[in-house]
Amino acid sequence: MDPYRVWLSEVMLQQTTVAAVTPRFERFVTKWPTVEALAAADDADVFAEWAGLGYYARARNLLACARKVAARGGFPASAADLRGLPGIGPYTASAIAAIAFGEAAPAIDTNIRRVIARLHALERPSDAEIEALLGNMIPAGRAGDFIQALMDLGATICRARAPRCDHCPLRTDCQAFATGQPEAFPAPKIKTVRPQRYGIAWWIERDGAVWLVRRPHKGLLGGMAALPSSDWGDSLAPDVNALSMVRHVFTHFALDLKIVRAGEPIGEGWWHPVDRLADAGLPTLFKRAAALAVAARRPCAAA
């Protein structure tokens, strides 16, 4: 299997559903059919195409990795060497090595972890336990097929809720099934409370265009197009006359972002037609903020 497509799909699927990824994957490989084509792409074009998939550090690492792979003449074939590339962690390295190159690498995603935990009725297994148990199961010469089969099994049959045990080919050996409570394994993670942050985004409109900036390449939403905004801190944003407010939940915190009208451009940026905001490549947070601003603006704003 083409390691470029395996790598791209695995990166896109990190923390993102198959339904959301599938059409975006097809668009990506149509625009950039090889790792060399992606390596030569303009950063802004890739960031714009990534908009809406979230976890935008992945887009930066995607470009960095593509350029490193293109420079070396292709993907390395082992999980150990793949881990040296930008944005490729232990799971992604093992998945590429197993699926694209047939290495008996124990690739452990959420679905596989759940299957192995249920097979052995493990409530809170460690990474080392899962890796050892999975490694002992991989058949010689069939690593890629086996890993993909377990992923599919976890996604479609051994589901987190309402597992379809009656359709599972492993149920006779499954210790969780034998308990009569397969959903109890593995035990749910303890949820942590996300801290709350606040900020302001400025809506600056002139002659039917809005002022956009590019966020710093390092940091959250790095390199993405955005409305100019303040730092996001723990203190409530000033009590200003806001057009609207958008609430957005990131991995590690929740954000309340007020959208406030301003008159003059802020920072380095460009004017983008309001009626073509869908083409601006805004990430979800700023896409929602822009939509709220457009809905709330006064009729004279576009004059």
Total number of domains constituting the chain: 2
Per-position pLDDT tens, the chain of length 303: 899 999 999 999 988 888 889 999 999 999 999 999 999 999 999 999 998 888 888 999 999 999 999 999 999 999 999 999 999 999 999 999 999 999 999 999 999 999 999 999 999 999 999 999 999 999 998 999 999 999 999 999 999 999 999 999 999 999 999 999 999 999 998 888 899 999 999 999 999 999 999 999 888 999 999 999 999 999 987 878 899 999 999 989 999 999 999 999 999 999 999 999 999 999 999 999 999 999 987 554 444
Domain shared by 173 and 242, yes or no: no
Cα separation, 258 vs 123, whole angstroms: 43
| Residues 285/55, Cβ–Cβ less than 8 Å | no
**Catalytic residue positions?**
10
Do 167 and 201 belong together in one domain? no
The answer on 227 and 205 residing in a single domain is: yes
- Residue 190 belongs to a domain: no
Q: Which two tokens stand for residue 233?
A: 């801190």
Residue-range definition of the domain harbouring residue 275: 196-302
For the record, the structure tokens of 229 come out as 């905004």
Is residue 191, in this structure, part of any structural domain at all?
no
Note whether 211 and 161 are same-domain residues: no
Whether residue 27 is found in the same domain as residue 162: yes
**What's the CATH code of the domain at 44?**
1.10.340.30
pTM (2 d.p.):
0.76
CA distance 23 to 27: 6
Q: How many angstroms separate the Cα of 241 from the Cα of each of 118, 199, 256, 258, 261?
A: 54, 14, 15, 9, 8
Residue 189 lies in a domain: no
Distance, CA of 39 to CA of 147 (rounded, Å): 28
Q: Is residue 103 domain-shared with residue 180, that is, in the same domain?
A: yes
One domain, residues 120 and 25 = yes
Q: Is residue 155 domain-shared with residue 69, that is, in the same domain?
A: yes
Res 90: pLDDT: 93
Same domain, 67 and 162: yes
Q: How many Å apart are CA 239 and CA 26, to the nearest integer?
A: 45
Choose the final residue of a domain: 131, 150, 184. Answer: 184
- Exposed e or buried b per residue across 214-240, where buried means at least 16 C-beta atoms within 10 angstroms of its C-beta: bbeeeebbebbbbbbbbebeeeebeee
- Give the CATH number of the domain where residue 284 resides: 3.90.79.10
